[in-house]
Amino acid sequence: MQIGSAVPYVPAMPSTPTARPPAPDVSPDLLRADQAPASPVQSSSAQGQADLREESDKASEGEDREGASTEAATENPTSREAAELREEQAQISELASRDREVRTHEQAHAAVGGAYAGAPTYTFKRGPDGKSYATGGEVGIDTSAVPGDPEATLRKMEVVVRAALAPAEPSAQDRSVAAQAQAQAAAARVELSEMRREESAQALEARADEKKTDAAGQEEDESTDDPKSSPSLPGLDLYRSLARGADITSSIDLRA
């Protein structure tokens, strides 16, 4: 490509005697290419090529990113669906585990509580699969004392305590019920002890009365057997009268 016409010729310095004029058919730019400054057009062209290369690189990079984004966008729905499916399965597994735990817990209360415990009741939550899972539950249990019978109350509270603490991991409410039953049992023990003391005192009093009755009867028997209390026998005066031949009909009572 001929570019010499675009650059003005610069003559050689007069102090250089060896300089010769260039041949008419040779461009001065070609002879002094190592000394002449770069052509503005050439520099602009080179810069333009560099810019084009940079733009081309940016365009290529943009295409790569766009391709990656497109690929990610193509794969993203499937990834989201898989993630949502895994999350649902994890939630279902957790709900099923909780359901088993709750049912086992409440059934342990009911089984040990027997006649003093009611049937289990549950609260449910619907899972992603549409099924209902127990997430909470309770069992009613009677912790009242048996009126007038502390011994029966004590036996009842022992059952209630065992029922409250029957699950492998008793809850705070379970422990509270057990504490209430233990307090009732302690009160029943005190009442039972007082009743037994009263019964013992009454038994002692009854035995004392019986001994008094026996002693009174014995004294009566002894008084009956006492010769002093029997009818008086004829004394020596009778025999003296007989000896004197006196009439003794007035001294002896013949009526039996």
Residue pLDDT, tens place only, 22-80: 454 444 443 444 444 454 444 444 444 544 355 545 555 555 555 555 554 445 668 88
| Beta-bridge mates of residue 134 | 124
pLDDT for the residue numbered 114? 94
**How many Å apart are CA 19 and CA 147, to the nearest integer?**
140
- The 10s digit of each residue's pLDDT in 141-154 is 999 999 999 999 99
Among candidate residues 183, 180, 186, 151, the one with its CA nearest the CA of residue 164: 180
Counting Cα atoms < 13 Å in the Cβ hemisphere of 47 gives 7
Q: What pLDDT score does 256 carry?
A: 44
- The tens place of each residue's pLDDT in the chain, 256 residues long, gives 333 334 344 444 444 444 455 454 444 443 444 444 454 444 444 444 544 355 545 555 555 555 555 554 445 668 888 999 999 999 999 999 999 999 999 999 999 999 999 999 999 999 999 999 999 999 999 999 999 999 999 999 999 999 999 999 999 999 999 999 999 999 999 999 998 898 888 888 888 888 878 777 776 666 665 555 555 555 556 556 666 655 545 444 444 4
Q: Is 132 helix (H, G, I), strand (E, B) or coil?
A: strand
pLDDT of residue 213: 80
For residue 81, give the 3-state DSSP assignment. helix
The full length of the chain comes to 256
Cα–Cα distance for residue pair 155/168, rounded to 1 Å: 23
> What pLDDT does 69 receive?
52
pLDDT of residue 224: 61
Q: What is the 3-state secondary structure (H, E, C) of 172-236?
A: HHHHHHHHHHHHHHHHHHHHHHHHHHHHHHHHHHHHHHHHHHHHHHHHHHHHHHCHHHCCCCCCH
CA angle, 244 as apex, 239 and 250 as ends, to 5°? Answer: 65
